[in-house]
Structure 1
Amino acid sequence: MTESSTVSKAAHTQKDKSKSARFKEIMQVFLAYNVLGNLSKQEKPEKVREALEALGPTFIKIGQMLSVRTDILTPAYIDELKKLQDNVKTDDFSLVKEVIEAETGLPLTDIFTKFEEQPFASASMGQTHKAMLPDGRIVAVKVQHPGIKEAITLDLSLFEKALPLIKYIPEASVVDPKEIFLEIKTSLENELDSLKEAANGKEFYEKNNGWQIVRSPLIYEEYSTSKVLVMEFMEGKSIKRFVKDEVNETDEQQQEHQKMKKYFGDTLVKNFVKQVFEDGFFHADPHPGNIFVQMLPFSEEGKKEFAQVKNQHLEKKLGSNQFMFEYTKDQELPPYRLVFLDFGMMGRLDKEMIHKLTAVMDSLYGNNAKVIGQAILRLCKQVGPMDEEVFFEQLTPLLEDNYGVSIGDINLQTLFFQIIAICHQNNLQVPQEVTMLVKAVATFEGMIRELDPEISLVEIATPFAKKYFTEKIDWSFELKRAGLDLLYSAKAAPKIPSRTLDVLDDFAKGKTKINLELKKQNELLDRIEGMINRLVIGLILAALIIGSSMLVEFNQSVTSNFVSILGMIGYGIALFAILFLAVDILRKRKKK
């Protein structure tokens, strides 16, 4: 055996040992905290959170992703998993320097003229340092933790092997566990590839930077690698800190603060709706830590920036006629900017899905539960038998109670959970991209609630939906189709009287047939079939018992012993069959 093959075999053995040790650690924690048992019963969410924190970055990330999955977890679980925190120690500068130089193939001093050794931010995937490029540009350098990719890849492989256990989570028959795992795996892999985050950041910059007060850092792709992301350094503080700063201000400052909070809330909601309905590319993790408030220095404030606002309305009454029209107005921007960060988790919607979501928003504006329900049905995939009438009976009161209510008066997270729960009860599966959108909205909700509780997402989203319909619809095609429908209706109209006479004539001659549709007829037929089968088995068993009794009583000398044995065998078969039926009936009753 050669030396290289010996080294390879030793490395492989070591890898197997670490894999088995990690699997043992995961199983010990799962058993100690009864993770699967608590998940299956939706009990003790704090125990599940503690278990995920004990297992490290991969499971913390999984928990954070599940913390907005209202389609599989109860609100109590959602609230608990939102408390998950990254408790990761920062790496020494020597390790950071080693990663950068290994990735770029250049000495650190050749890439950056200045590089702060102490990171100003750290998370489970990596940490971020402030640096300066040779041309004087200040940048933020996000460097992946050494070994984090290998650790997450190992955990994902072990998690995938344990995937069949996920079927014990409630509603797993409707929410595909493999699909959920694939979403988690894809998200984690994307976050581990800084080049994908760089591409996402570049696209987000092109579509959103400069939209009113929204800003996004410029990505320097030429300096970025799969483990290093270099972007424009954006000064500021998290929007959560901005909200808390109000406590220590004077009355006048608090009034100005309240005004800015309402403005920020309105801007963020409008921009997010634009990301969804116009761009089809939205930030899927818009929590307060990923949105900064930046105050412009006096030198920049003096330059005055303006934005065009198109939602200005003018109404004039001339005599008996009233005119209303929309016009464009330039609005001076305040000396604040809202900066989006972290583009590892982004959502995409194709044109067809945007059209379906637009139909939902348009139907919400009309406050018609039937139309809203039909739009939701078009969004979902049916994975089993479904009764539309039952679906609408469950959905209507929920929508009527929540329509037009401001964010401060409803819990969107709970509302989404209730709607998705109704979908599950009716064997409707929500598409993965819609689930990601729901996740983003649920993340968004808490922040908007603190900024401005009076904002109504429906009222803000509806103009975007109507604008989308106006811009995207093919009016020539729609007019042609409407014209053809009108032509067919005109041709059919003269035949109505003769058709009516034919129907009356059939009634008079007794030729009319009436078709009745039974609700859940397949289920009803299955139950009738089961009853008949049991009746037939009962008759057979009765015949078997009677026949066996006759055989036992058969007394001819030559065959009496043999026939008696046959009779006893018949008794045994009948007894076994009766016991089996009794156990089956008790099992089904307990299941119900």
Structure 2
Amino acid sequence: MKVFLSYNVLPNIAKQEHPEKVREAFEELGPTFIKIGQMLSVRSDILTPRFIGELKKLQDNVKTDTFATVKQTIEEETHLKLTDIFETFEELPFASASMGQAHKATLKNGKEVAVKVQHPGIKEEINLDLSLFAKVLPLIKHIPESNVVDPKEIFLEIKTSLQNELNSLKEAENGVAFYKKNNGWEIIQTPIIYRDYCTEKVLVMEFMQGESIRKFVQKEVVSKESEERKQLKNHLGNVLVRNFVKQVFEDGFFHADPHPGNILVRFLEPNEEGYHAKNKVKDIQHKKEMKQGSIGFNYTEEQDLPPYRLVYLDFGMMGYLDETMIHKLTNVMDSLYGNNVKNIGRAILQLCNQIGPVDEEHFFEELAPLLDENYGASVGDLNLQTLFFRIIAICHQNNLQAPQEVTMLIKAIATFEGVIRELAPEISLIEIATPFAKKYFTEKIDWQWELKKAGIDLLYSAKAAPKIPSRVLDVLDDLSKGKSKINLELKKQNELMDRVERMMNRLVMGLILSALIIGSSMLVEFNAGLTSNFVSVLGMIGYAIALFAILFLAVDIWKKGRRKK
């Protein structure tokens, strides 16, 4: 609380001001809050781009554990001696973060592995911090967005993410599922998880060579290689986008933290396994017409894979989408590609939860300029974080709240944007994503049911068609006899009635004040012996009440006028 007050954390978050103060406070509060800040740094649905940019500067600043501590943790968790599991084990970690550190080792079968070991006591420290943070939670109701974005829901999401990261068995389970769905998809690779040696505090996975995609992009190259390198970067960016869209629309299981440190570029050696690998491109159906008839056959087209791979790491934060949510996202992508504001708006309305009255026409009017401004733009011309922030802001203003899984997807896309912007800024995410969305739509839709439904609708329409002339005559007859009624629906009628009610209340208040002033004047002028002083005092009290009420009304009118300006 002392740190929160000294850095003015809650007011700064509420007003979206002084993000550097919030970052400094989180750094002072230690690992838990650093991790929370890092999670918030990609939440474009909650914070402004300026705030997000500052929180991205948060860095883990923790001391590494000694080899003796690491050895003790591994042996206590696995109930095996270190030498019984590993042939070699490097004492110095090659990476360290707030949750734990990673060592390179070799299994008894000769396989090189990365061993992630949790810091001792970090679980207890984080759970204590979370319990204290939960007590501060009620103060966050002062954040302007708290009426739409539920702070409790956000806290539960952060709590769940942190607890998942503290459980290496959960990450191992995610890693195995991600490996099955993505390893070997074109040039995508993921590490093998060795489940037999994984525990809640220890994770053992295949050691993956390579450099982070950020280092790869920033590496200086000779000018004569620039064109070849540009093509390489375009290919890497294209594969990453298509694979990520596949994770969302086909798998319903996506990497929710695809920042540059979690994606490696790995170049294969000529004698290395996979250097001459081929990739199945597509199944082709061929039909040949002949005099005796026609024959058809299928064949698979293949192509050589390039001698490099893209490697995904870190499966602590993963997103899940069910069939219903994928279908809704498909509708959004399809409508975005068609650039029809009404269709896009309806798709977003289906996707979001309504927490209050929604004026659809007003929502469409606010959405239209933003979509027209950004339609068809490449990643290089877009700032997805800003775009998503503006769309979410429009949703907030119209009583719409994005579901948690969509929020996580937006967070992942906002993170992913930075990677693609550095690799291939001319790529259009919508153009690449739409074919996947259409493919999902055509594969998942029940055409038999849809045809039956369309046939039933057509049958009802055919039955109703002969009755149309007689119904029109009935309407004209009612109009001629003055029997028809017209129902008008006023937009924002509740708001209008509230304003009328406030006006009437002020008018009544004015009449009461007038009567009070006149009555008080008569009492002050009253003169009947002993009671005159008492009655005069009552009159003065009436004057005081009237004066106070008039001042209150004047201040209220002035404030509302200022607010409108």
Report the TM-score, using the length of structure 1 for normalisation: 0.89
Specify the alignment match of 1:124 in structure 2: 98
Of stretches 375-384 and 42-51 in structure 1, the one that deviates more from structure 2 is 42-51
Change in Cα spacing, 1:562 to 1:244, as seen in structure 2 (3 Å) is: closer
Match of 2:71 in 1: 97
Classify 1:577/1:311 alpha carbon distance in 2 versus 1 (closer, same or farther; 3 Å). Answer: farther
Task: Give yes or no for contact 1:72–1:170 (8 Å, CA) kept in 2.
Answer: no
Q: Please give the residue correspondences for 1:61-460 in structure 2 after superposition, counting only pairs within 5 Å.
A: 61-245=35-219, 247-249=220-222, 251-252=224-225, 254-300=226-272, 304-310=276-282, 329-460=301-432
> Aligned to 1:91, what secondary structure does the other structure show?
coil
Query: Are residues 435 and 403 of structure 1, via their aligned partners in 2, closer, same or farther at CA, if it must alter by over 3 Å?
Result: same
**Equivalents in 1 of 2:210, 2:347: separation in Å?**
41
Match for 2:78: what amino acid? T
After superposition, give the CA deviation of every residue in 1:194-245 in whole Å (9 maximum; x if it has no partner).
Answer: 1111111111111111111111111111111111111111111111122222
**Identical columns (%):** 74
Aligned partners of 1:451, 1:328: CA distance in 2, in Å?
31
Displacement of 1:544 in angstroms is: 2.4
- Counterpart amino acid of residue 62 in structure 1: I
What does the per-residue CA deviation read over 1:72-95, in whole Å, with 9 as the maximum and x for residues that have no partner? 211111122122211222111111
Measure, in 2, the Cα distance between the counterparts of 1:445 and 1:358: 20
CA contact (8 A) 2:268 2:275 kept: no
Runs (5+) with no aligned partner, structure 2: 287-297
- Equivalent AA in structure 1 for residue 109 of structure 2: D
Task: Indicate yes or no: 2:433 matched with 1:467.
Answer: no
- Which one of 460, 476, 489 corresponds to residue 488 of structure 1? 460
155-164 or 190-199: which moved more? Answer: 155-164
2:293 matched to which residue of 1? none
**Which AA in structure 2 matches 1:101?**
E
Shift of 1:542: 1.8
Q: Secondary structure at the match of 1:234?
A: coil
> After superposition, what is the alpha-carbon deviation per residue over 1:519-560, rounded to whole angstroms, capped at 9, x for unaligned?
211111101001101111221222223233333434344654
**Structure 1 residue matching 2:309: 3-state secondary structure:** strand
Contact 2:269 2:275 in 1 (8 A): no
TM-superposition CA deviations, 1:330-379 (whole Å, max 9, x none)? 12111111111000111111111100000001111212111011101111
**How far apart, CA to CA, are the structure 1 residues paired with 2:10 and 2:74?**
40
2:221 and 2:31 mapped to 1: Cα distance? 36
- Deviation per CA, 1:294-337: give whole Å up to 9, x if none: 222222357621112249999xxxxxxxxxxx995212111111
How far apart are residue 492 of structure 1 and its match?
0.7
- The 8 Å contact of residues 361 and 465 in structure 1, kept in 2 or not, is answered as yes
Q: 1:81 to 1:217 in 2, by over 3 A?
A: same
In 2, Cα distance between the equivalents of 1:327 and 1:400?
Answer: 43
| SS of match in other structure, 1:300 | coil
* Unmatched segments (≥5 aa) in structure 1: 1-26, 315-325
Q: AA paired with 1:248?
A: V
Aligned to 1:347, the other structure's residue is in SS state strand
Question: CA-to-partner distance for each residue in 1:233-281, whole Å, 9 max, x for gaps?
Answer: 1111111122222x133613x3332222111111110110010001111
Residue 563 of structure 1 and its aligned partner are, at CA, apart by: 4.0
**Farther-moved stretch of structure 1 (542-551 vs 119-128):** 542-551
Residues 170 and 136 of structure 1: CA distance in aligned 2, closer, same or farther (over 3 Å): same
Q: How does 1:548-587 map to 2 (within 5 A)?
A: 548-557=520-529, 559-587=531-559
Letter in 1 for 2:361: E
For the 8 Å contact 1:117–1:129, the answer to whether it is kept is yes
> How many matched pairs?
554
The structural deviation recorded for 1:31 is: 3.1
Q: Secondary structure at the match of 1:202?
A: helix
Once residues 303 and 560 of structure 1 are traced to their aligned partners in structure 2, the CA distance between those partners, rounded to angstroms, is 111
Deviation at 1:38, TM superposition (A): 2.4
SS of the residue aligned with 2:21? helix
- State the TM-score, normalizing by the size of structure 2: 0.93
